Amino acid sequence: MPSKRSLILGTLLITAATGALWLYERQKPMPPSASEYESLAETVEIDESSLHPRLRGLNDWKRPDGPWHVAIQVGHLQASDAPDELEKLRINTGTSYGKVTEWETSLAIAEKTKTILEASGIAVEILPTTIPPNHWSDIFISIHTDGNENASVSGYKVASPRRDYTGKSEEFAATLGMEYQDATSLPFDDNITKAMRGYYAFNWRRYDHSIHPETVAAIIETGFLTNARARSVIVKTPEIPAQGIASGILSFLASQKK
Ligand SMILES: [Zn+2]
Protein backbone atom coordinates (compact mmCIF):
# COMPACT_ATOMS: atom_id res chain seq x y z
CA MET A 1 0.00 0.00 0.00
CA PRO A 2 1.46 3.41 -0.88
CA SER A 3 1.54 5.77 2.07
CA LYS A 4 -0.68 8.86 2.06
CA ARG A 5 2.45 11.00 1.84
CA SER A 6 3.77 9.29 -1.32
CA LEU A 7 0.33 9.55 -2.92
CA ILE A 8 0.31 13.31 -2.36
CA LEU A 9 3.87 13.59 -3.69
CA GLY A 10 2.93 11.52 -6.75
CA THR A 11 -0.08 13.72 -7.47
CA LEU A 12 2.07 16.84 -7.19
CA LEU A 13 4.64 15.41 -9.60
CA ILE A 14 1.99 14.51 -12.18
CA THR A 15 0.49 18.00 -11.90
CA ALA A 16 3.91 19.59 -12.42
CA ALA A 17 4.67 17.34 -15.40
CA THR A 18 1.31 18.13 -17.03
CA GLY A 19 1.96 21.83 -16.53
CA ALA A 20 5.42 21.58 -18.08
CA LEU A 21 4.05 19.68 -21.07
CA TRP A 22 1.32 22.27 -21.53
CA LEU A 23 3.93 25.06 -21.45
CA TYR A 24 6.07 23.16 -23.97
CA GLU A 25 3.13 22.71 -26.31
CA ARG A 26 2.30 26.40 -25.97
CA GLN A 27 5.86 27.45 -26.76
CA LYS A 28 6.49 24.95 -29.56
CA PRO A 29 7.40 26.98 -32.63
CA MET A 30 4.77 26.99 -35.35
CA PRO A 31 5.58 27.16 -39.04
CA PRO A 32 5.58 30.75 -40.33
CA SER A 33 2.47 32.10 -41.97
CA ALA A 34 2.55 33.36 -45.58
CA SER A 35 2.78 36.98 -44.36
CA GLU A 36 5.74 36.15 -42.13
CA TYR A 37 7.52 34.59 -45.09
CA GLU A 38 6.63 37.60 -47.20
CA SER A 39 8.32 39.96 -44.78
CA LEU A 40 11.54 38.03 -45.35
CA ALA A 41 11.43 38.17 -49.13
CA GLU A 42 13.14 40.77 -51.26
CA THR A 43 11.32 42.35 -54.16
CA VAL A 44 12.89 41.26 -57.40
CA GLU A 45 12.92 43.85 -60.12
CA ILE A 46 13.96 42.68 -63.52
CA ASP A 47 15.90 44.81 -65.93
CA GLU A 48 15.93 42.53 -68.96
CA SER A 49 19.05 44.08 -70.44
CA SER A 50 21.02 42.98 -67.38
CA LEU A 51 19.93 39.36 -67.69
CA HIS A 52 21.83 36.42 -69.07
CA PRO A 53 20.71 35.62 -72.66
CA ARG A 54 19.00 32.41 -71.44
CA LEU A 55 16.57 34.60 -69.45
CA ARG A 56 15.72 37.15 -72.15
CA GLY A 57 12.03 37.42 -72.96
CA LEU A 58 11.13 36.87 -69.31
CA ASN A 59 8.65 39.76 -69.24
CA ASP A 60 6.66 38.16 -72.11
CA TRP A 61 6.87 34.65 -70.71
CA LYS A 62 3.69 32.53 -70.78
CA ARG A 63 3.08 29.27 -69.02
CA PRO A 64 3.17 26.33 -71.47
CA ASP A 65 -0.21 24.61 -71.92
CA GLY A 66 -0.77 21.29 -70.21
CA PRO A 67 -1.32 19.73 -66.80
CA TRP A 68 0.25 21.08 -63.62
CA HIS A 69 3.94 20.32 -63.67
CA VAL A 70 5.86 19.53 -60.47
CA ALA A 71 9.61 18.95 -60.19
CA ILE A 72 10.84 17.13 -57.09
CA GLN A 73 14.55 17.36 -56.49
CA VAL A 74 16.25 14.71 -54.38
CA GLY A 75 18.98 16.49 -52.42
CA HIS A 76 22.50 15.16 -53.14
CA LEU A 77 21.29 12.52 -55.61
CA GLN A 78 24.09 11.88 -58.14
CA ALA A 79 26.10 14.72 -56.60
CA SER A 80 29.27 13.63 -58.40
CA ASP A 81 27.64 14.58 -61.74
CA ALA A 82 27.29 18.28 -60.79
CA PRO A 83 28.30 20.65 -63.62
CA ASP A 84 31.51 22.69 -63.56
CA GLU A 85 29.77 25.87 -62.37
CA LEU A 86 28.63 23.90 -59.29
CA GLU A 87 31.75 21.79 -58.94
CA LYS A 88 31.77 22.19 -55.15
CA LEU A 89 28.56 20.15 -54.93
CA ARG A 90 30.31 17.03 -56.22
CA ILE A 91 31.72 16.22 -52.79
CA ASN A 92 28.61 17.34 -50.89
CA THR A 93 26.98 13.96 -50.42
CA GLY A 94 24.71 15.06 -47.56
CA THR A 95 24.18 13.69 -44.09
CA SER A 96 23.89 10.07 -42.96
CA TYR A 97 23.15 7.93 -39.93
CA GLY A 98 24.86 4.53 -39.96
CA LYS A 99 24.01 3.09 -43.34
CA VAL A 100 21.03 5.40 -43.86
CA THR A 101 21.88 8.22 -46.28
CA GLU A 102 20.18 11.53 -46.89
CA TRP A 103 19.74 10.95 -50.61
CA GLU A 104 18.20 7.48 -50.21
CA THR A 105 15.78 8.74 -47.57
CA SER A 106 14.84 11.74 -49.72
CA LEU A 107 14.49 9.58 -52.85
CA ALA A 108 12.03 7.23 -51.11
CA ILE A 109 9.94 10.23 -50.00
CA ALA A 110 10.16 11.79 -53.49
CA GLU A 111 8.96 8.62 -55.21
CA LYS A 112 5.97 8.25 -52.88
CA THR A 113 5.13 11.94 -53.38
CA LYS A 114 5.29 11.45 -57.16
CA THR A 115 2.83 8.53 -56.99
CA ILE A 116 0.31 10.55 -54.96
CA LEU A 117 0.55 13.59 -57.26
CA GLU A 118 0.31 11.54 -60.46
CA ALA A 119 -2.93 10.02 -59.17
CA SER A 120 -4.28 13.60 -59.27
CA GLY A 121 -3.27 14.07 -62.91
CA ILE A 122 -0.14 16.09 -62.19
CA ALA A 123 2.96 15.67 -64.36
CA VAL A 124 5.87 14.92 -62.03
CA GLU A 125 9.58 14.55 -62.62
CA ILE A 126 12.27 13.66 -60.14
CA LEU A 127 15.50 15.63 -60.49
CA PRO A 128 18.99 14.87 -59.12
CA THR A 129 21.56 17.44 -57.91
CA THR A 130 21.93 18.81 -61.44
CA ILE A 131 18.98 20.92 -62.54
CA PRO A 132 18.60 21.17 -66.34
CA PRO A 133 19.41 24.80 -67.32
CA ASN A 134 16.57 27.28 -66.84
CA HIS A 135 14.22 24.53 -65.73
CA TRP A 136 10.57 25.55 -65.50
CA SER A 137 7.79 23.80 -63.55
CA ASP A 138 4.71 25.12 -61.72
CA ILE A 139 6.27 23.92 -58.47
CA PHE A 140 9.85 23.00 -57.65
CA ILE A 141 10.52 21.32 -54.34
CA SER A 142 13.88 20.18 -53.06
CA ILE A 143 13.81 17.39 -50.48
CA HIS A 144 16.59 17.00 -47.89
CA THR A 145 17.19 15.56 -44.43
CA ASP A 146 19.17 17.10 -41.57
CA GLY A 147 21.79 15.76 -39.19
CA ASN A 148 23.11 16.92 -35.83
CA GLU A 149 25.70 15.68 -33.33
CA ASN A 150 23.02 16.01 -30.66
CA ALA A 151 20.54 13.17 -31.15
CA SER A 152 17.80 15.07 -29.32
CA VAL A 153 17.68 17.82 -31.96
CA SER A 154 14.52 17.30 -33.98
CA GLY A 155 12.14 19.07 -36.34
CA TYR A 156 11.56 19.92 -39.97
CA LYS A 157 12.32 23.15 -41.83
CA VAL A 158 10.70 24.73 -44.87
CA ALA A 159 12.12 27.74 -46.72
CA SER A 160 11.32 29.68 -49.87
CA PRO A 161 13.90 31.44 -52.07
CA ARG A 162 15.44 34.66 -50.76
CA ARG A 163 14.79 36.21 -54.17
CA ASP A 164 11.45 35.14 -55.53
CA TYR A 165 10.33 36.40 -58.92
CA THR A 166 6.91 34.66 -58.77
CA GLY A 167 5.84 36.36 -55.52
CA LYS A 168 4.07 33.10 -54.58
CA SER A 169 6.79 30.94 -53.09
CA GLU A 170 6.27 32.25 -49.55
CA GLU A 171 2.63 31.22 -49.67
CA PHE A 172 3.58 27.82 -51.02
CA ALA A 173 6.19 27.31 -48.28
CA ALA A 174 3.66 28.25 -45.59
CA THR A 175 1.06 25.83 -46.99
CA LEU A 176 3.66 23.10 -47.28
CA GLY A 177 4.80 23.61 -43.67
CA MET A 178 1.26 23.36 -42.30
CA GLU A 179 0.43 20.22 -44.28
CA TYR A 180 3.76 18.61 -43.41
CA GLN A 181 3.21 19.21 -39.71
CA ASP A 182 -0.33 17.82 -39.93
CA ALA A 183 0.90 14.64 -41.63
CA THR A 184 4.04 13.96 -39.60
CA SER A 185 3.42 15.64 -36.20
CA LEU A 186 7.13 16.56 -36.21
CA PRO A 187 7.92 19.92 -34.59
CA PHE A 188 8.72 22.90 -36.78
CA ASP A 189 12.39 23.93 -36.52
CA ASP A 190 12.64 27.68 -37.09
CA ASN A 191 16.40 27.58 -37.53
CA ILE A 192 16.17 28.39 -41.27
CA THR A 193 19.65 28.85 -42.67
CA LYS A 194 20.97 31.23 -45.32
CA ALA A 195 22.00 28.14 -47.25
CA MET A 196 18.36 27.10 -47.50
CA ARG A 197 16.99 30.44 -48.70
CA GLY A 198 19.95 30.96 -51.01
CA TYR A 199 19.88 27.37 -52.30
CA TYR A 200 21.84 27.06 -55.55
CA ALA A 201 18.88 25.66 -57.52
CA PHE A 202 16.90 28.86 -56.74
CA ASN A 203 19.74 31.09 -57.94
CA TRP A 204 18.82 31.62 -61.60
CA ARG A 205 20.80 34.86 -61.82
CA ARG A 206 24.03 33.12 -61.01
CA TYR A 207 23.72 29.55 -62.29
CA ASP A 208 22.60 28.12 -65.63
CA HIS A 209 21.66 24.90 -63.84
CA SER A 210 18.81 26.35 -61.82
CA ILE A 211 15.06 26.89 -61.92
CA HIS A 212 13.35 29.27 -64.35
CA PRO A 213 12.36 32.51 -62.52
CA GLU A 214 8.64 31.75 -63.09
CA THR A 215 8.86 28.62 -60.95
CA VAL A 216 7.30 28.63 -57.47
CA ALA A 217 9.86 26.97 -55.22
CA ALA A 218 10.63 25.69 -51.74
CA ILE A 219 13.15 23.53 -49.96
CA ILE A 220 12.23 21.16 -47.12
CA GLU A 221 14.46 19.57 -44.52
CA THR A 222 12.12 16.69 -43.71
CA GLY A 223 13.67 15.86 -40.31
CA PHE A 224 16.89 14.82 -38.56
CA LEU A 225 18.33 11.44 -39.50
CA THR A 226 20.18 11.61 -36.17
CA ASN A 227 16.93 11.70 -34.16
CA ALA A 228 15.15 8.43 -33.39
CA ARG A 229 11.63 9.84 -33.56
CA ALA A 230 12.29 11.56 -36.88
CA ARG A 231 13.83 8.35 -38.30
CA SER A 232 10.73 6.42 -37.33
CA VAL A 233 8.78 8.82 -39.56
CA ILE A 234 11.03 9.78 -42.47
CA VAL A 235 13.03 6.56 -42.88
CA LYS A 236 10.58 3.86 -41.77
CA THR A 237 7.39 5.37 -43.20
CA PRO A 238 8.33 7.60 -46.17
CA GLU A 239 4.67 7.57 -47.25
CA ILE A 240 3.83 9.81 -44.28
CA PRO A 241 6.18 12.72 -45.12
CA ALA A 242 5.25 12.14 -48.79
CA GLN A 243 1.58 12.63 -47.92
CA GLY A 244 2.42 15.89 -46.14
CA ILE A 245 4.43 17.20 -49.09
CA ALA A 246 1.83 16.09 -51.66
CA SER A 247 -0.98 17.69 -49.61
CA GLY A 248 0.98 20.94 -49.44
CA ILE A 249 1.43 20.94 -53.23
CA LEU A 250 -2.18 19.96 -53.99
CA SER A 251 -3.56 22.50 -51.55
CA PHE A 252 -1.42 25.29 -53.01
CA LEU A 253 -2.23 24.37 -56.64
CA ALA A 254 -5.95 24.28 -55.85
CA SER A 255 -5.69 28.02 -55.11
CA GLN A 256 -3.85 28.84 -58.36
CA LYS A 257 -4.83 29.55 -61.97
CA LYS A 258 -2.80 28.14 -64.83
ZN1 LIG B 1 20.96 18.15 -47.86
Residue 60 lies in a domain: no
- Backbone torsions φ then ψ of 184, nearest 5 degrees: -100, -20
What's the average model confidence in pLDDT over 111-125?
Answer: 98
| 192 CA → ligand 1 middle, Å | 13
Lowest mean pLDDT among 31-45, 100-114, 135-149, 153-167: 31-45
Alpha-helical runs (H) found in 128-238 = 169-184, 194-197, 228-234
| 147 CA → ligand 1 middle, Å | 9
- Backbone torsions φ then ψ of 70, nearest 5 degrees: -120, 130
Residues 17 and 35 in one domain: no
| 146 CA → ligand 1 middle, Å | 7
The whole domain housing 228 covers 31-42+65-254
How far apart, in whole angstroms, are the C-alpha atoms of residue 146 and residue 48? Answer: 38
Residues 22 and 110 in one domain: no
pTM of the predicted structure, to 2 decimals: 0.84
Distances (CA, A) of 215 to 65, 68, 76, 147: 15, 12, 21, 28
pLDDT > 70 in the chain, percent: 83
| 45 CA → ligand 1 middle, Å | 30
The per-residue pLDDT for 152 is 95
Per residue in 154-201, pLDDT (tens digit) is 999 999 999 999 999 999 999 999 999 999 999 999 999 999 999 999
| 240 CA → ligand 1 middle, Å | 19
| 100 CA → ligand 1 middle, Å | 13
| 102 CA → ligand 1 middle, Å | 7
The domain that contains 93 carries what CATH number? 3.40.630.40
Number of folded domains in the chain?
2
Residue 42: pLDDT above 80? no
Residue 7: pLDDT above 60? no
| 242 CA → ligand 1 middle, Å | 17
Residues 77 and 189 in one domain: yes
| 168 CA → ligand 1 middle, Å | 24
| 220 CA → ligand 1 middle, Å | 9
Beta carbons of 71 and 127 less than 8 angstroms apart: yes
Residue 174 lies in a domain: yes
| 129 CA → ligand 1 middle, Å | 10
| 70 CA → ligand 1 middle, Å | 20
Residue 82 lies in a domain: yes
